[in-house]
Amino acid sequence: METKPIDGKAFAAGLRARIAEEVAGLKASAGLTPGLAVVLVGEDPASQVYVRNKAAQTAEAGMASFEYKLAADTPEADVLALVAKLNADPAVHGILVQLPLPAQIDANKVIAAIDPAKDVDGFHVVNAGRLAVGLDALVPCTPLGCIMLLKHHLGSLSGLKAVVVGRSNIVGKPAAQLLLKEDCTVTIAHSRTRDLPAECRTADILVAAVGRPEMVRGDWIKPGATVIDVGINRVPKDDGKTRLVGDVAYAEAQGIAGLITPVPGGVGPMTIACLLQNTLTAAKRQKGLA
């Protein structure tokens, strides 16, 4: 069987172009410029790259970008004060605090302080709860991107068996909720799941979001299944440099999976494109335009 790669980079570029067009239309018709504030605390190298890319892609889409870079030893109270200021700023429609945060800051407290209407990460319990009960919500960007890719390539997901490996609040749980909303039969598997390989082999759609390099082996995949690899793991190479691998052993999946997202170039680029989509949605809702 031929295994086809899902080109998330190209899909994300198309999505960003459509968002930019809508932003231009909103500016012209309603005088509204969506604004996104991104807060980075500390100097984690990967986070610095993600935040830089977020700011650049926000500006490219014609939105207003507000960047806040705070020192690694910033007290929690200062981050909460900044969030309160951004909540009250009418030019800011979306607020994102880059994760992970330094140890002195409780991420749950910071997320809880964000106005749910501006929570473009979709991590606030109000948005998680709204998603769970089927109300309009701001949905976490990475799982939203996974569902967009799946629907684009498979059409209807109704009736398909989906296994999500990983139960994080950021990816695993919302991905499962979104698949359920698409009428999939969903299992959330994790490190304590009995016979994880056998569970994975039942999946028409296998979502790997565990953060462990190449944990999902080729013989865990049902022939013809669609594999969505959310992992972004940096592993050492022989020459002392590093390379990115996913949570799925990509080479082993060849000839077994029907479709698979590569790492890099699969789910990753969808994260920022969906952040822009959420910012546009948040801005429109705040102005009563959606």
Ligand X SMILES: Nc1nc2c(c(=O)[nH]1)N[C@@H](CN(C=O)c1ccc(C(=O)N[C@@H](CCC(=O)O)C(=O)O)cc1)CN2
C-alpha distance from residue 6 to each of 50, 148, 265 (Å): 22, 11, 9
Residue from 58, 271, 281, 286 that binds ligand X (CB under 6 A)? 271
Measured CA to CA, the distance from residue 238 to residue 253 in angstroms comes to: 23
Q: How remote is the C-alpha of 143 from its chain's centroid?
A: 5
Distance between CA atoms of residues 222 and 211, nearest Å: 21
Q: How near is the Cβ of 164 to ligand X at its closest, in Å?
A: 16
Beta-carbon contacts of residue 85 (< 8 Å; ≥ 6 apart): none
- Residue 232 as a binder of ligand X (CB under 6 A): the answer is yes
Would you say the C-alpha torsion 222, 228, 230, 234 has a positive or negative sign? Answer: positive
If one asks whether residue 70 binds ligand X (CB under 6 A), the answer comes out as no
The residue annotated as part of the active site, out of 57, 118, 119, 121, is 121
167 is in an annotated binding site: yes
Residue 265 touches ligand X, criterion: CB under 6 A: yes
- Site map for ligand X, 141-160, x if CB under 6 A? xx------------------
Chain centroid to CA 2: how far? 28
Applying CB under 6 A, which of residues 57, 58, 74, 98 lies at the interface with ligand X?
98
Rank residues 56 and 289 by Cβ distance to ligand X and give the closer one. Answer: 56
Q: Give me the helix-helix angle, 125-133 and 172-181, nearest 10°.
A: 30
Binding residue (CB under 6 A) for ligand X from 15, 204, 269, 273: 269
- Between residue 244 and residue 263, which ones bind ligand X under the rule CB under 6 A? 244, 263
Decide if 161 is catalytic. no
Exactly one of 96, 179, 225, 253 binds ligand X (CB under 6 A); that residue is: 96
Is 234 marked as a binding-site residue?
no
In whole angstroms, give the CA distance from residue 182 to residue 160: 9
The contact set with ligand X (CB under 6 A) reads 50, 96-99, 121, 141-142, 232, 244, 263-265, 268-269, 271-272
**Residue positions annotated with a catalytic role:** 54, 98, 121
